Amino acid sequence: GGAVADLTVSRPPSQEEKSELSEAVRRKLSMQEVRRSLPVYPYRQYLLAAIAEHQILIIEGETGSGKTTQIPQYLYEEGYTEKGMKIGCTQPRRVAAMSVAARVSQEMGVKLGNEVGYSIRFEDCTSERTLLKYMTDGMLLREFLTEPDLSSYSVIIIDEAHERTLHTDILFGLIKDIARFRPALKVLIASATLDTERFSTFFDDAPIFRIPGRRFPVDIFYTKAPEADYLEACVVSVLQIHVTQAPGDILVFLTGQEEIEACCEMLQERCRRLGSKIPELLVLPIYANLPSDMQAKIFEPTPPGARKVVVATNIAETSLTIDGIIYVIDPGFCKQKSYNARTGMESLIVTPCSRASANQRAGRAGRVAAGKCFRLYTAWAYKNEMEETTVPEIQRTNLGNVVLLLKSLGINDLIHFDFMDPPPHETLVLALEQLYALGALNHLGELTKLGRKMAELPVDPMLSKMILASEQYKCSEQILSIAAMLSVNNSIFYRPKDKVVHADNARMNFFLPGGDHLVLLNVYTQSAFSMQWCYENFIQFRSMRRARDVREQLEGLMERIEVDLTSSEGDYVPIRKAITAGFFYHTARLTRTGYKTPRWLIYHELVFTTKEFMRQVHQPAIDSTWLLEVAPHYYKAKELEDASAKKLPRKVGKTREELG
Ligand code: ADP
Ligand code: MG
């Protein structure tokens, strides 16, 4: 395909800048030199002056200009953390929060967790001394529960605002509100060069501070015909670049861990076969669940003579900046959540990314020198098959969690909440209905005592209901283990390609007639966190360790919400009842020919990728009287009987309109 350069170059770099930057690539600059070489640096004083003058400021700058790592340090140097006040900076992704905090602690020469720390779900790496706190947007949202006016913060930076995650969108509304009665609070909305006018409009026309970008031209290449197998196409492209193109590292965008692992394996395998015929190629993956020591590897400078290829999820689109990238390979896909408000089903689907995403991806090739982006789709597809921008998450996700949180913050009128883009009415109503079914809201839509406790647990409402129900059924020890295992679930069982049969056999050994939740409990109990045991049973040791950490955290929270730790020992019935109490709302009826009676089963999460499948099927049939026992306000005996003869259980109680 011919080269189509459709990226605008905001300003051609001067000769001086060019040599300065290519220098920077070759020579290993000291950390302070790097800091001074960043695009934001010359604007330090102007930026601080603008922040002093305005309460809310929108900051726009190319990825890599230094927004995330530098601005909090400037504020710290300027005295914004005096009197023990903190500077908080949110990130939509856990990996970014951890990685950026680590970098900033290095730049400041302090131990991570002291003056600079991070907080992500189930992992708090901060201390009394922490002044610069990086955290996921979800964690800041939870902080409203304990500190509704965020009074310990002098500055809040909502970073990566353009990502428009659900939590970031909710933060917009809450922060805008508290800024009104906390005039001393500074609010910075930081974003890549996207959508900044909209942020300004939302925040009562707050001024926009633009950090001029330093961007080199990027040549864009398209394929002539669509690629049938984009994974294979990626591998081939990487190797082609490696053998034919000038030095410079490669960044490949894939949709998730499995794909990334497969791609890395294929690359390593082919390099092994080519042996010394080609120069060294360092293959490095990066995705959310990658252990942090492995994550750090992508930032290490490439040794001379070698080339680095980073295979990433869209975390590398704007959240992380990897220096030295000259080539980008973009298959044009991402994994996206979508939500069907009619069925209440949430799914993760691989879909074409937006044109805005594609352009961000291409931009990664032009940070340090002129670069090239290879799009593994046609120019026609770019123009006709991709959406202009990504739909904000709030419009394609289940809102149960967020509604519960807002209700516990005393925000009752959700319809009139200050949303930048409101969620679909249907979705909001469904969330209210689900919370009513779980007993978190009463028939007037008000938070119940149970609901208040549920909100304290940083997990989905169904999971928190299950945990709270374990008190009544006297099995909280077991339920906590199950909850912890569910939180790390997608990475527990290890299934290497060359040992599929062994792995599957090992898995069968954990089978219990009570269902998959019990299997998880079984694994948790048996493992005893022995590395040897995990290895022999094809269980990921790392995930088990993580499950243990999560469980410890949950145990700590139980004390706070005053739920006693109890054990049902070998009796599975109470455990299954507690599970039912949490997940009954997701009851599906299994009708098979040959069965006269209705079979109920419960699923934890319905995920579809290529085809629909049920995860965590709580098998086999649960007695329909259990449904009555766990949610009498929701099901009536008669309805259940009627439903046996018809389709799904019918809901009773308040109608949607009454709840909304
Ligand atoms: P922005 O937030 O504007 O995208 P960052 O502040 O994240 O920019 O990054 C600025 C620069 O800091 C990067 O270009 C890179 O040189 C350096 N940097 C950031 N994170 C790391 C890291 N984890 N390791 C090494 N260098 C980093
Ligand atoms: Mg950033």
Kindly report the three-state secondary structure assignment for every residue of 397-435: CCCHHHHHHHHHCCCCCCCCCCCCCCCCHHHHHHHHHHH
User: Is residue 72 in contact with ligand 1, taking CB distance under 6 Å?
Assistant: no
- State residue 153's pLDDT score: 98
User: Is residue 21 in contact with ligand 1, taking CB distance under 6 Å?
Assistant: no
Q: For residue 212, how far is its CA from the centre of ligand 2 (angstroms)?
A: 15
* Phi, psi of 402, deg, nearest 5: -70, -40
User: Is residue 105 in contact with ligand 1, taking CB distance under 6 Å?
Assistant: no
DSSP percent split of the chain into helix, strand, coil, nearest 5: 45, 15, 35
Ligand 1 atom 10, closest CA: 66
User: Is residue 296 in contact with ligand 1, taking CB distance under 6 Å?
Assistant: no
Q: For residue 220, how far is its CA from the centre of ligand 1 (angstroms)?
A: 24
Paired strand residues for 615: 605
Taking residues 285-311, report their average pLDDT.
91
User: Is residue 629 in contact with ligand 1, taking CB distance under 6 Å?
Assistant: no
- State residue 58's pLDDT score: 97
User: Is residue 543 in contact with ligand 1, taking CB distance under 6 Å?
Assistant: no
What stretch of H or E contains 587? Answer: strand 587-590
CA-CA distance, 113 to 130, in Å (whole number)? Answer: 7
Q: Are 309 and 238 in contact (CB under 8 A)?
A: yes
The answer on pLDDT for 634 being more than 60 is yes
CA-CA distance, 293 to 53, in Å (whole number)? Answer: 41
The ligand minimizing its distance to the Cα of 63 is 1
For residue 128, the one-letter residue type is E
User: Is residue 323 in contact with ligand 1, taking CB distance under 6 Å?
Assistant: yes
Q: For residue 408, how far is its CA from the centre of ligand 1 (angstroms)?
A: 37
CA-CA distance, 632 to 627, in Å (whole number)? Answer: 7
* Alpha helices (H) along 447-563: 449-456, 461-472, 476-487, 500-508, 516-527, 531-536, 541-560
Q: For residue 105, how far is its CA from the centre of ligand 1 (angstroms)?
A: 12
pLDDT band at 466 (very low <50, low <70, confident <90, very high): very high
Taking residues 100-125, report their average pLDDT.
96
The ligand minimizing its distance to the Cα of 33 is 1
Of residues 116 and 604, more confidence is placed in 116
Q: Are 616 and 517 in contact (CB under 8 A)?
A: yes
User: Is residue 34 in contact with ligand 1, taking CB distance under 6 Å?
Assistant: yes
DSSP conformation class of 78: T
Residues 6+ apart with CB under 8 A from 641: none
User: Is residue 298 in contact with ligand 1, taking CB distance under 6 Å?
Assistant: no
For residue 461, the one-letter residue type is P
Q: Are 400 and 435 in contact (CB under 8 A)?
A: yes
Question: Angle between the 400-408 and 425-438 helix axes, to the nearest 10 degrees?
Answer: 70
User: How many other β-carbons are positioned within 10 Å of the β-carbon of residue 426?
Assistant: 13
The closest of 110, 33, 7 to 371, measured between CA atoms, is 7
Q: Are 133 and 126 in contact (CB under 8 A)?
A: yes
User: Is residue 103 in contact with ligand 1, taking CB distance under 6 Å?
Assistant: yes
Q: What is the pLDDT of residues 133-154, one digit of tens each?
A: 999 999 999 999 999 999 999 9
Choose from 8-22, 369-383, 574-588, 593-607 the range with maximum mean pLDDT.
369-383
pLDDT band at 28 (very low <50, low <70, confident <90, very high): low
Of residues 415 and 168, more confidence is placed in 168
Of residues 539 and 570, more confidence is placed in 539
ipTM: 0.99
- State residue 602's pLDDT score: 54
User: How many other β-carbons are positioned within 10 Å of the β-carbon of residue 501?
Assistant: 8
| Coil/strand/helix, residue 569 | coil
The answer on pLDDT for 5 being more than 50 is no
What percentage of the chain has pLDDT greater than the value 70? 85
Q: Are 34 and 104 in contact (CB under 8 A)?
A: no
> E strands within 592-658?
599-602, 605-608, 612-615
The ligand minimizing its distance to the Cα of 214 is 1
CA-CA distance, 432 to 535, in Å (whole number)? Answer: 44
What percentage of the chain has pLDDT greater than the value 90? 65
Furthest CA-CA distance within the chain? 81
Dig out the tokens for 288 from the structure: 């959310």
pLDDT band at 107 (very low <50, low <70, confident <90, very high): very high
The ligand minimizing its distance to the Cα of 62 is 1
The answer on pLDDT for 658 being more than 60 is no
What stretch of H or E contains 74? Answer: helix 67-77
- State residue 344's pLDDT score: 66
For residue 142, the one-letter residue type is R
Q: Could you tell me the CA-to-CA distances from 296 to 95, 98, 101 in Å, in that order?
A: 10, 10, 12
DSSP conformation class of 582: H
Q: What is the pLDDT of residues 35-75, one digit of tens each?
A: 999 999 999 999 999 999 999 999 999 999 999 999 999 99
Residues 6+ apart with CB under 8 A from 34: 24
The ligand minimizing its distance to the Cα of 65 is 1
Dig out the tokens for 76 from the structure: 């710290």
- State residue 596's pLDDT score: 37
Number of H-type helices and E-type strands within the chain: 27, 20
Ligand 1 nearest atom to the CA of residue 318, by list position: 4
Q: What is the pLDDT of residues 201-216, one digit of tens each?
A: 999 999 999 999 878 9
User: Is residue 29 in contact with ligand 1, taking CB distance under 6 Å?
Assistant: no
User: Is residue 69 in contact with ligand 1, taking CB distance under 6 Å?
Assistant: yes
- State residue 593's pLDDT score: 36
Q: Are 217 and 366 in contact (CB under 8 A)?
A: yes
If phi > 0 it is left, if psi is from -120 to 50 it is alpha, else beta; for residue 8 that is beta
Of residues 630 and 222, more confidence is placed in 222
Taking residues 614-637, report their average pLDDT.
67
Taking residues 362-373, report their average pLDDT.
94
Paired strand residues for 325: 249
Q: What is the pLDDT of residues 420-437, one digit of tens each?
A: 999 999 899 989 988 999
If one residue of 59, 69, 90, 193 were mutated to test the ligand 1 pocket, choosing by the most ligand atoms within 8 A of its CB, it would be 69
Q: Could you tell me the CA-to-CA distances from 586 to 345, 547, 649 in Å, in that order?
A: 9, 24, 10
Angle formed at CA 4 by CA 369 and CA 358, multiple of 5 degrees? 75
Ligand 1 atom 19, closest CA: 321
Contacts for 269-278: CB closer than 8 Å, 24+ residues apart? 270/235, 270/239, 271/239, 274/239, 278/239, 278/242, 278/243
For residue 384, the one-letter residue type is N
Contacts for 341-348: CB closer than 8 Å, 24+ residues apart? 341/424, 341/426, 341/427, 341/429, 341/430, 342/426, 344/398, 344/430, 344/434, 344/585, 344/586, 345/606, 346/397, 346/398, 346/605, 346/606, 346/607, 347/606, 347/607, 347/608, 347/612, 348/607, 348/608, 348/609
Ligand 1 atom 7, closest CA: 68
The closest of 465, 399, 339, 346 to 660, measured between CA atoms, is 399
94 Cα distance to chain centroid: 7
Burial class (CB in 10 A: 0-12, 13-18, 19+), 97: buried
Ligand 1 atom 14, closest CA: 64
Q: What is the pLDDT of residues 324-333, one digit of tens each?
A: 999 999 999 9
User: Is residue 237 in contact with ligand 1, taking CB distance under 6 Å?
Assistant: no
- State residue 515's pLDDT score: 76
For the chain, the residue count is: 660
Dig out the tokens for 28 from the structure: 């290993």
Q: For residue 321, how far is its CA from the centre of ligand 1 (angstroms)?
A: 5
User: Is residue 551 in contact with ligand 1, taking CB distance under 6 Å?
Assistant: no
The ligand minimizing its distance to the Cα of 323 is 1
* Residue the block writes with tokens 């294929």: 266
Ligand 1 nearest atom to the CA of residue 159, by list position: 2
Q: What is the pLDDT of residues 524-542, one digit of tens each?
A: 999 988 999 999 999 999 8
User: Is residue 438 in contact with ligand 1, taking CB distance under 6 Å?
Assistant: no
Dig out the tokens for 529 from the structure: 């966190």
Of residues 644 and 401, more confidence is placed in 401
User: Is residue 319 in contact with ligand 1, taking CB distance under 6 Å?
Assistant: no
* Residue the block writes with tokens 């700590």: 556
Q: Are 309 and 267 in contact (CB under 8 A)?
A: yes
Ligand 1 nearest atom to the CA of residue 65, by list position: 3
The answer on pLDDT for 6 being more than 90 is no
Dig out the tokens for 483 from the structure: 């909850």
CA-CA distance, 500 to 538, in Å (whole number)? Answer: 10
| Coil/strand/helix, residue 346 | strand
User: Is residue 64 in contact with ligand 1, taking CB distance under 6 Å?
Assistant: yes
- State residue 586's pLDDT score: 65
Q: Are 481 and 567 in contact (CB under 8 A)?
A: no
CA-CA distance, 302 to 152, in Å (whole number)? Answer: 41
User: Is residue 193 in contact with ligand 1, taking CB distance under 6 Å?
Assistant: no
pLDDT band at 650 (very low <50, low <70, confident <90, very high): very low
Burial class (CB in 10 A: 0-12, 13-18, 19+), 647: exposed
- State residue 273's pLDDT score: 94
For residue 423, the one-letter residue type is P
The answer on pLDDT for 113 being more than 70 is yes
The answer on pLDDT for 391 being more than 60 is yes
The answer on pLDDT for 170 being more than 80 is yes
Ligand 1 nearest atom to the CA of residue 211, by list position: 3
* Arithmetic mean of pLDDT over the chain: 86
Please report how many Cα atoms fall inside a 13 Å half-sphere around the Cα of residue 335, on the Cβ side.
21
The ligand minimizing its distance to the Cα of 66 is 1
The answer on pLDDT for 649 being more than 90 is no
User: Is residue 363 in contact with ligand 1, taking CB distance under 6 Å?
Assistant: no
